[in-house]
Amino acid sequence: MLSQKNILSAILSFLLYLSNHDIVCAFTTTTSGITHHHTFHNRNVDSSMFSSSSLTQQYHQKGRAPTKNRQGLSMVRAQRSRKSTSLCLSMKAQTPLPYPVRIAVMGGGNFGLALATVCGRQGIPTTILVRSETVVESINGSHKHPTYSPDLCLPQSIRATTDPKTALSDATYIIHAVPCQYTRSFLNNVKDDLPAGTPILSVSKGIESTSLGFMNEILEDVLGDDRPYAFLSGPSFAREIREGVATAVVIASEDLDLARDLANLLSDDRFRCFTSQDVPGVEIGGAVKNVIAIAAGMSDGLGLGTNAKSTLVTRGCGEMRRLGLFFGAYPSTIAGLSGAGDTFGTCFGPLSRNRQFGFELGQGKSVEEILASTTEVAEGVATAIALVNLIKSKFKGYRLDLKFPILFAVASILEGKTTPKDGLDGFMNMPMQMENFDERTFGGK
């Protein structure tokens, strides 16, 4: 029988062995019946980094990410392959993460499932917070969602729950995927379960109808400004992401370190994240493109051809740029993935809900009929009306409908004040003018 001294000596020898060797350990934990798989890589990592709650406290003091406490995340960047060419998207993790990161996804719709899939492909334990026990049973049992793309399997590291405390209490990062118009009520219900300081990555887009606020304003209004936020946008259909089709997006945050760490965490050879600090530009692009897509869909529904549709999309991007400049966005952001890129995908892609909504409008269906026929959310419907109200409240000047004719026309059609055919006639009979004005002098005056 081993003596206490021999046992202590063996433990000490083992600890010394660990300190001098590169060890990878895999282990599991169980929280409220949900099993999470973790991987630990010991090289040069302080033991205080092992806890996700400890990491959260260190990473987000005063709502920012101080460089001096970012040892673990710096290792993520250093240990990931950064090879890339213009012909290949490559940012694949080559080694396990240096501490047990855990992701919580709020919202089990199409895009919540897509981002959970991205995390799951990296082997990151991911919990989706959903409303239905039926969905929980399906995801945890068969690794499929019963409604959204039920033919596609979710990675094994993904679990679902209806309990906010189970999903959120030890999350290292939280992804918010609840539609814009439902965000405020949802956050009010779960905010007491959100760990203090844990960063939130919002993948929702739009403008709230009641407050006329973008997602960053809603999040800060409900949760405060003492935690870091980031916002993801770009041409990214949820099904294609889940299928592993090459996709590129942009993550914007006022804290560029947070944007970079999230980009490194999520990126692989099928999903590439670029970074930005232009939060207004990314938010405006993500919201306005859905309204333009409704206009493009109406053009298709009316059978107007490629010339008309291309004109609507191009002029719509001009209105997006105009709005962005007023709110301080960079023109390069509007011309990038979250602006023009997302607009092209949404207006011309067959998977676009907003384009499909516009198509049915163009074919003569009413707004009420279309809404009653689907369970999916076309964010551009509520955003279009809120957007016009925002423009009227912020901009000064005469005949704002001449500065934003497409945005105003879509809102008018959705409110039943005019028809798609009349809206097109109004656009084609606008007063003659230069294609573009000098935007350096434009300030809404």
Q: How far apart are CA 44 and CA 237, in angstroms?
A: 39
Enumerate the H helices of 27-70 as residue ranges.
52-59
Q: Which residues contact 244 (CB under 8 A, 6 or more apart)?
A: 121, 270
Map tokens 């040069």 to a residue.
44
Contacts of 348 (CB under 8 A, 6+ apart): 296, 313, 355
- Report the candidate in 153, 108, 150 with the shortest Cα–Cα distance to residue 130: 108
Query: 């946008």: which residue's tokens?
Result: 233
* Strand, coil or helix: 251: strand
Q: If we measure between CA atoms, which residue out of 119, 216, 217 comes closest to residue 173?
A: 119
One DSSP character per residue, 148-202 reads: SSTTSPPPTTEEEES-HHHHHTT-SEEEE-S-HHHHHHHHHHHGGGSPTT--EEE
Residue 112, both tokens: 């919540």
Q: Which among 216, 219, 225, 406 has a CA at the least distance from the CA of 327? A: 216
289 is a catalytic site residue: yes
With b for 16 or more beta-carbon neighbours within 10 A and e for fewer, the 250-277 pattern comes to bbbbebebbbbbbbbbbbbbbbbbbbbe
Question: What burial class does residue 239 get, using C-beta atoms within 10 Å of its C-beta: 0-12 exposed, 13-18 middle, 19+ buried?
Answer: middle
Catalytic residue among 68, 83, 205, 289: 289
What residues act catalytically? 289
